[in-house]
């Protein structure tokens, strides 16, 4: 844990955007025609804006949003079509959240040009009003297809789906949140209503595939990777719903060195991935689009943030 003096000093710099002004200044992308899409992703960053201290028992010196921003900038400079996504629980875990309630995290993610994030359970730690206050700093969609928030302060800030078109390749993205009852205190999620992820996902796939002509569907999931009980998780979701190509997961803090491929009801494979927690890893998936196959060829890797390649 950093000292209060150092924390307040760094807080003033982050609020002014000074720490990230170098890595984020003048982002450039190569001007070349490429049949490829790069998907970068994080999950459960938990307000870890600073690297872990050098004397930490685990992940010493790793993480930090400035290091992540530099890495994302470098990848964008080498690749034309890049998506940057997060699977939720951006909030809670360090004094940054205690003092700023998540607004600094979302502001800096906006400066990094995140394309979307899912809603995690810790996004409710200051209640719907606190979440809505912080969400004003988010210059990107916050996705939760299975949360109904119409009668809450969150209504202006939560979307069901997002579509991105890159070189004619249409990517549909939707988000799923965990059942809040029993995980989040009732007073903190208020009138936000939860709906069954399986039924919602089937509707989202139909909307994105059929009505919006998407070639590829991504689910940003904060359900959790796998449970040994009847709770819905990413593996059960993949096994029960066809039409999802990629699930980027969160909540269980699972470090997957390689994505898992699960049989789906459509007779294909749904790929699941998750990058642990605290921003110590940045995940990457590259899709190769040759126009001759309905399913893009995929390669994957991850970067340890704060450690040279």
pLDDT tens digits along 152-190: 999 999 999 999 999 889 999 999 999 999 999 999 999
Residue 64 has pLDDT above 70, yes or no: yes
Q: What CATH architecture is 36-304? A: 4-Layer Sandwich (3.60)
26-40, 48-62, 71-85, 292-306, range with the lowest pLDDT: 26-40
Which band of pLDDT confidence, cut at 50, 70 and 90, is reported for residue 293?
Answer: low
| The predicted structure's pLDDT at residue 294 | 67
Give the domain ranges of the chain: 36-304
Tens digit of each residue's pLDDT (9 = 90 or more) over 214-239: 999 999 999 999 999 999 999 999 99
Question: Mean of the pLDDT values across residues 125-143?
Answer: 98
Q: Cβ(179)–Cβ(158) under 8 Å? A: no
Q: With pLDDT > 70 as the criterion, what percentage of the chain qualifies?
A: 87
Q: Cβ(58)–Cβ(105) under 8 Å? A: no
Element of type H or E holding 36: strand 36-42
Pairing status of strand 297-304 against strand 161-166:
unpaired
Q: Other C-beta atoms within 10 Å of 268: how many?
A: 15
Residue 309 has pLDDT above 90, yes or no: no
Residue 57 has pLDDT above 70, yes or no: yes
pTM of the model: 0.90
Question: Mean of the pLDDT values across residues 34-56?
Answer: 94
Q: Cβ(30)–Cβ(80) under 8 Å? A: yes
8-12, 165-169, 258-262, range with the lowest pLDDT: 8-12
Pairwise pLDDT comparison (123 vs 13), residue with the higher score: 123
């Amino acid at each position: 844990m950093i000292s209060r003096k150092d924390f307040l000093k760094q807080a003033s710099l982050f609020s002014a955007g000074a720490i990230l002004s170098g890595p984020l200044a003048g982002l450039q992308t190569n001007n070349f025609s490429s049949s490829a899409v790069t998907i970068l992703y994080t999950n459960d960053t938990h307000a870890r804006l600073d690297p872990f201290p050098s004397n930490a028992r685990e992940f010493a010196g790793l993480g930090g949003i400035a290091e992540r921003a530099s890495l994302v900038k470098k990848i964008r400079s080498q690749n034309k079509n890049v998506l940057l996504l997060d699977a939720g629980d951006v909030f809670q875990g360090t004094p940054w959240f205690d003092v700023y309630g998540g607004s600094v995290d979302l502001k800096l993610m906006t400066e990094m040009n995140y394309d979307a994030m899912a809603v995690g359970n810790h996004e409710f730690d200051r209640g719907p009003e606190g979440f809505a206050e912080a969400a004003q700093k988010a210059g990107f969609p916050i996705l939760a297809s299975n949360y109904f928030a119409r009668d809450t302060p969150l209504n202006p800030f939560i979307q069901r789906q997002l579509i991105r078109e890159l070189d004619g390749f249409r990517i549909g993205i939707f988000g799923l949140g965990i059942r809040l009852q029993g995980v989040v205190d009732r007073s903190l999620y208020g009138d936000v209503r939860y709906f069954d992820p399986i039924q919602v996902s089937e509707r989202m796939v139909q909307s994105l595939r059929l009505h919006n002509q998407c070639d590829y569907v991504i689910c940003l999931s904060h359900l959790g990777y796998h449970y040994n009980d009847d709770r819905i998780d990413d593996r059960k979701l993949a096994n029960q719903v066809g039409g999802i190509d990629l699930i980027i997961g969160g909540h269980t803090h699972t470090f997957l060195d390689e994505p898992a491929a699960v049989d789906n009801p459509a007779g294909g494979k749904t790929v699941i991935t998750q990058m642990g927690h605290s921003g110590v890893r940045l995940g990457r998936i590259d899709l190769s689009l040759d126009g001759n196959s309905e399913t893009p060829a995929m390669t994957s890797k991850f970067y340890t943030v704060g450690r040279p390649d």
